[in-house]
Structure 1
Amino acid sequence: MSVRELVVLGTASQVPTRHRNHNGYLLRWEGEGILFDPGEGTQRQMLRAGVAAHDIHRICVTHFHGDHALGLAGVIQRINLDRVPHEVTVHYPVSGRRFFDRLRYATAYRETVPLTDAPVTAEGPLATAPGYRLETAHLSHPVDAYGYRLVEPDSRRMLPDLLAEHGITGPDVGRLQREGVLRGTTLDEVSEVRRGQRFAFVMDTRLCDGVYALAADCDMLVIESTFLRQDEQLATDHGHLTADQAARVAVDSGVRHLVLTHFSQRYPDPAAFEEEARDAGFDGELTVAADLMRVSLPKRRQEPVHP
């Protein structure tokens, strides 16, 4: 069965709390697992959330502040300890290679798993997998930072009534799909585009072009909202977003499901983030992330996509 869900491992910003671990997010995308920003304590949170090292196929680090990367050492060593049977690819800003190398070899262990080092060197397409294309965009933070975006290729939905009207049945349907035209009938005449799903992960940043590029038309946007509107100047000074700003990005970008996370310890009531996002005009699905939560991607859009 197709599984596309976000497993939230940690939701704190710089300082963890009794209820919030440092960052960590596993996206299950069909049979693949993509781990984003493993902060300190991620290995323990994986155990609590029922996530195994075998579930990780790709690791994406937005930047090298500790709450987003200190868990790399433990996660990489666990991947090797458990002898994960597949290659694991790691992406991170190339400017932070020295930090990645230090974390990868922080202590002695036996390397048993191929680990592909694939740093981000520029915005744009980064990797292509069978079920998605991974893209990046530069963010605005005091250290070099990139956000990530998964784009599933569009496909075609065959329309039975139109197929019958054109007398196309059985093996001829497959022929038409492969060749694009059959006995004068084109694929466009008997099918419609089924838009692929889109997921974006945006961490520590001020408002910038990269935020909007990543969020555009996403089915799910996971985005930091470290501060509330009352502290917007503080957010700007430190390279962060408010819940109000994150929600306005979602509204402007056509996001269907907004997931707010990366909360400052200064705010004891998570309901304030939901209230602020709604006040900003976001009326889609909204989740204020909590540790160990699982959030399913929305069902596919039903409306056809027109050129």
Structure 2
Amino acid sequence: MLRWDGEGILFDPGEGTQRQMLRAGVAAHDLNRICVTHFHGDHSLGLAGVIQRINLDRVPHEITAHYPRSGQRFFERLRYATAYRETVALTEAPVDTDGPLARTPAYTLDARRLSHPVESYGYRLTEPDGRRMLPDRLAAHGIKGPDVGRIQREGSLNGVPLDEVSEVRRGQRFAFVMDTRLCAGVHTLAEDCDLLVIESTFLDEDEALAADHGHLTAGQAARVARDAGVRHLVLTHFSQRYPEPEEFERQARAAGYAGELTVARDLTRVPVPKRR
């Protein structure tokens, strides 16, 4: 789950999601969106339990679910897998094209089509750009105290434009890229991300197998992150054929990724890097 400015976005609730939420201290009330990349079981079978828990706990706010439109029948089967009392407004917002899905004051949520044997989408959150006030320029113009807030609100003060005493503070960016081969969508989602969570199911020596099954290798994921300027790379979704997860890190470094790197384990907590 991603915590973003007071909202909680749950990605790909596979089997055992409710149990992991409990272990991680995440309640149904913490959720605002659910984003499913595709309808393979390890990415979606937990939907039934999560949706029923949302209703059992009577979450007071609306929750929106995004998922590939081609999997509508699977979503409905999971949403109504057993009998329960619906008490919560769960908004279905299926995805069938690239582009923005939602805009809030805190972020824009976009989707991009990926390349997998079943229809799959990756998701990206982009925070709006803000302004960083420059103390030396404020002082040069004699702007202080309440006037700092005033120029931020009004855009100018006594003939001094906001641009003269501040600079753009780029908004943070996050992407979630699961089961896919290399494709344009992967690169678009990763571009300039502060935090990229990406699958690396296979090691590099099994690159042909990865392509056949619609997956990435550790080296491919790392090169995407390197070329995209990703600040913190999180590798996940490892095939059980590999007993040593450290090898994924070694291959990522060998591929030239020099930023912060996490090889994910259950219940790993990864902070979004601080704003530049």
Q: Does TM-score exceed 0.5, indicating one fold?
A: yes
Of residues 168, 180, 183 in structure 2, which corresponds to 1:193? 168
Name the CA distance, whole Å, in 2 between partners of 1:265 and 1:84: 36
Matches within 5 A, 1:278-289: 278-289=253-264
* Structure 2 residue 152 is matched with structure 1 residue 144: no
Name the CA distance, whole Å, in 2 between partners of 1:104 and 1:33: 20
Partner of 2:11: 36
Partner of 1:210: 185
- Per-residue CA deviation, residues 125-159 of structure 1 (Å, 9 max, x unaligned), is 11012211101111001111100000000100111
Name the CA distance, whole Å, in 1 between partners of 2:267 and 2:86: 29
Where do 4+ consecutive residues of structure 1 move more than 6 Å? Answer: none
Question: What is the SS of the residue equivalent to 1:222?
Answer: strand
Partner of 2:140: 165
Question: What is the SS of the residue equivalent to 2:270?
Answer: strand
Partner of 1:77: 52
CA shift, 1:85, in A, is 1.5
- Per-residue CA deviation, residues 10-39 of structure 1 (Å, 9 max, x unaligned), is xxxxxxxxxxxxxxxx01112111000000
CA shift, 1:173, in A, is 2.4
**2:76 partner letter:** D
Of residues 112, 129, 133 in structure 1, which corresponds to 2:87? 112
**2:59 partner letter:** V
Question: What is the SS of the residue equivalent to 1:48?
Answer: helix
Question: What is the SS of the residue equivalent to 2:19?
Answer: helix
Name the CA distance, whole Å, in 2 between partners of 1:273 and 1:131: 33
CA shift, 1:254, in A, is 0.2
**1:117 partner letter:** E
Normalised to the residue count of structure 2, the TM-score between the two structures is: 0.98
Name the CA distance, whole Å, in 1 between partners of 2:41 and 2:132: 45
Partner of 1:3: none
**1:164 partner letter:** A
Name the CA distance, whole Å, in 1 between partners of 2:219 and 2:101: 30
CA shift, 1:52, in A, is 1.1
Partner of 2:35: 60
Name the CA distance, whole Å, in 2 between partners of 1:176 and 1:47: 45
* Structure 2 residue 276 is matched with structure 1 residue 295: no
Partner of 1:94: 69
Question: What is the SS of the residue equivalent to 1:294?
Answer: coil
Name the CA distance, whole Å, in 1 between partners of 2:25 and 2:155: 44
Name the CA distance, whole Å, in 2 between partners of 1:92 and 1:149: 14
Matches within 5 A, 1:268-279: 268-279=243-254
- Per-residue CA deviation, residues 229-267 of structure 1 (Å, 9 max, x unaligned), is 000000000100000000000000000000000010100
Matches within 5 A, 1:210-289: 210-289=185-264
CA shift, 1:94, in A, is 0.8
Name the CA distance, whole Å, in 2 between partners of 1:272 and 1:121: 36
Can you give the 5+ residue segments of structure 1 that lack an aligned partner in the other structure?
1-25, 302-307
CA shift, 1:178, in A, is 2.5
Identity of aligned residues (%): 79
**1:146 partner letter:** Y
Structure with larger RCO (C-alpha < 8 A, sep 6+): 1
Question: What is the SS of the residue equivalent to 2:112?
Answer: strand
Question: What is the SS of the residue equivalent to 1:296?
Answer: coil
- Per-residue CA deviation, residues 155-200 of structure 1 (Å, 9 max, x unaligned), is 0011122111112233332332233222221111100111111000
Name the CA distance, whole Å, in 2 between partners of 1:179 and 1:87: 33
Question: Aligned pairs, how many?
Answer: 276
Normalised to the residue count of structure 1, the TM-score between the two structures is: 0.88
- Per-residue CA deviation, residues 62-106 of structure 1 (Å, 9 max, x unaligned), is 000111000000100011111111111100011111110111001
* Structure 2 residue 160 is matched with structure 1 residue 175: no
Name the CA distance, whole Å, in 1 between partners of 2:249 and 2:145: 51
**1:73 partner letter:** A
Name the CA distance, whole Å, in 2 between partners of 1:44 and 1:180: 49
* Structure 2 residue 126 is matched with structure 1 residue 154: no
Partner of 1:21: none
Name the CA distance, whole Å, in 2 between partners of 1:48 and 1:180: 47
